[in-house]
């Protein structure tokens, strides 16, 4: 598997990011309008303006990323373990990653809006708008890098970059852009077709996935237990056990494949397997 990297750092366009943030905040103000008994027209207008700003911002951000070179897998999730991890740093990574969590909270809201908009586009045209696709791909890529660093794998001490684009970070994520998508599948993929996978992912990840996406997971999942065990061993021995790393990577690989499917990015049904290890095979 060839790792996709970018030789130069990518800086997001400030205007596009501001438009996206403004859209999220404007949409979030809609419930406030209802709470103060303002006209329903004001609420509807706030939602429409918010959605429009999000789409404009996401289109601009996605357009600045560009397409990806061919990959061995339609959905590729990889992460290279740092052999020289600091024993104690995992204890504070969640704190260091707070700026990322704040940005990701905004990006995830935009991700949902863009996915719904893309769903309508697929329904009527059979295509996922390319720039919106690169945006959603970028959000998942960003989320994966932060998870690999801070709260999902703990596989690197290198701080993740603030970008949607491909970089030379040791954790990479890529979904190959589909030339065409089924119009009718878009109505069923996210809930009915994906249901068996969603049940399995929920059992394996429990509150872990909810925590990443802004939910309120209250119990430690199987994945969380594996990660905690790996972290404790690292703390006392200075070694991240490769067997645990491979299992944790496999769980994340399964989860991200399912998420790409439910986010309407591919029509291929995800396999029912872990595929453990650092790289795709």
Pick from 161, 157, 143: nearest CA to 255: 143
Determine which helix (DSSP H) or strand (DSSP E) holds 79, and give its type and residue range.
strand 75-79
Q: What is the C-alpha to C-alpha distance for residues 261 and 275, in angstroms, rounded to an integer?
A: 17
Q: For residue 27, how many C-alpha atoms fall within 13 Å in the half-sphere facing its CB?
A: 19
Pick from 102, 264, 97: nearest CA to 177: 264
More confident residue, 68 or 267: 267
Q: In DSSP terms, which residues pair with 77 in a beta bridge?
A: 173
* Tens digit of each residue's pLDDT (9 = 90 or more) over 143-186: 999 999 999 999 999 999 999 999 999 999 999 999 999 999 99
What is the token pair recorded at 14? 């400030």
The pLDDT value given to residue 68: 66
* Tens digit of each residue's pLDDT (9 = 90 or more) over 199-231: 999 888 875 445 444 444 456 788 999 999 999
What is the token pair recorded at 142? 């960003």
- What average pLDDT is seen over the chain? 90
| Model pTM score | 0.90
């Amino acid at each position: 598997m060839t790792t996709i990297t970018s030789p130069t750092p990518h800086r997001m366009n400030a205007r596009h990011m501001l438009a996206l943030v403004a859209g999220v905040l404007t949409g979030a103000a809609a419930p406030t309008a209802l709470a103060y008994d303002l006209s329903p027209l004001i609420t509807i207008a706030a939602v429409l303006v918010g959605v429009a700003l999000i789409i404009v911002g996401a289109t601009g951000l996605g357009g600045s990323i560009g397409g990806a070179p061919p990959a061995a897998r339609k959905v590729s999730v990889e992460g290279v373990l740092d052999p020289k991890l600091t024993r104690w740093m995992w204890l504070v990574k969640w704190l260091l990653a707070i700026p990322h969590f704040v940005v990701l909270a905004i990006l995830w809201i935009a991700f949902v809006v863009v996915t719904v908009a893309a769903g309508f586009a697929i329904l009527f045209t059979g295509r996922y708008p390319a720039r919106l696709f690169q945006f959603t791909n970028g959000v998942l890529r960003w989320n994966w890098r932060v998870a690999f660093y801070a709260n999902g794998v703990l596989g690197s001490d290198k701080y993740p970059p603030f970008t949607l684009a491909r970089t030379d970070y040791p954790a990479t994520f890529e979904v190959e852009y589909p030339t065409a998508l089924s119009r009718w599948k878009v109505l069923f993929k996210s809930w009915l077709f994906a249901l068996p996978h969603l049940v399995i992912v929920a059992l394996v990840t429990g509150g872990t996935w909810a925590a990443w996406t802004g939910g309120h997971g209250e119990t430690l999942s199987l994945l969380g237990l594996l990660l905690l065990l790996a972290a404790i061993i690292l703390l006392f021995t200075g070694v991240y056990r490769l067997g645990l790393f491979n299992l944790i990577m496999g769980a994340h690989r399964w989860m991200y494949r399912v998420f790409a499917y439910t986010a309407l990015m591919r029509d291929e049904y995800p396999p029912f397997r872990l595929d453990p290890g650092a790289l795709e095979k």
